[in-house]
Amino acid sequence: MNLLPVAAAIATAFAYCCGLLLLLRTPAAATITAVFAPMGRMALTNYLTQTALFLLVSPLLGIDSGDDVTQIVGLTVTILIVQAVWSTLWLRSFRYGPAEWLWRCLTWWQRAPIRRAHQHAVPPARRVVS
C-alpha cells in the first residue's frame, strides 16, 4: 500500500489549517469570521446538505471518480459559497440550523424554540483575539 498520497493529503490539510490560523491574526480576521461563523453554527446541517448535494449533483456533472479533479473542486467551491450565503440568511431568522434544532430537541426531549424573538437581532460575529 502506497502511503504517500495519504501523507500528502494530511500535510495539505495541515497547511490549510495553519494558513487559516495565520490569517486570523491579521486584519482579515473579521471578514473571515463573518463568513465562517454562520457556517460553523450550522455545521451539522451544512455537513448533511453538502453530502446530499454532492451525491445528487456529481453524476449530473459526470463525476465518477477521484480523477475528475476540476469538476470536484468546482462543485465543492460552489457548495461552500451557497452554504455561506444560506447559513447567513437562515440565521437572521432562526437561532439554529434545522439539523442543530432537531438534535437539540432530541437531546432535551422537548421542543426547543427556533425562531428569533426579533427578526433583526443577529448576534455579531465574535472576533478572535490572539
Mean pLDDT along residues 41-63: 94
Q: What is residue 118's predicted lDDT score, i.e. its pLDDT?
A: 65
Residue 119 has pLDDT above 60, yes or no: no
pLDDT of residue 17: 94
Q: What is the per-residue pLDDT for 128?
A: 58
CA distance 24 to 91: 23
Residue 116 has pLDDT above 90, yes or no: no
**Average pLDDT in the 77-95 region?**
95
Specify the pLDDT at position 66: 77
Q: Is the pLDDT of residue 98 over 70?
A: yes
Residues 6 or more apart whose Cβ sits within 8 Å of residue 29: 23, 127, 128
Task: Write out pLDDT tens, residues 7-37.
Answer: 999 999 999 999 999 999 999 999 999 999 9
pLDDT at 64: 85
pLDDT > 80? residue 123? no
Q: Are 111 and 105 in contact (CB under 8 A)?
A: yes
Question: Is the pTM for the entire model greater than 0.85?
Answer: no
The domain spans of the chain are 33-108
DSSP letters for the chain: ---HHHHHHHHHHHHHHHHHHHHTTSTTHHHHHHHHHHHHHTHHHHHHHHHHHHHHHTTTTT--STT-HHHHHHHHHHHHHHHHHHHHHHHHHBSS-HHHHHHHHHHHTSPPP-B-SSTT-PPPPPPP--
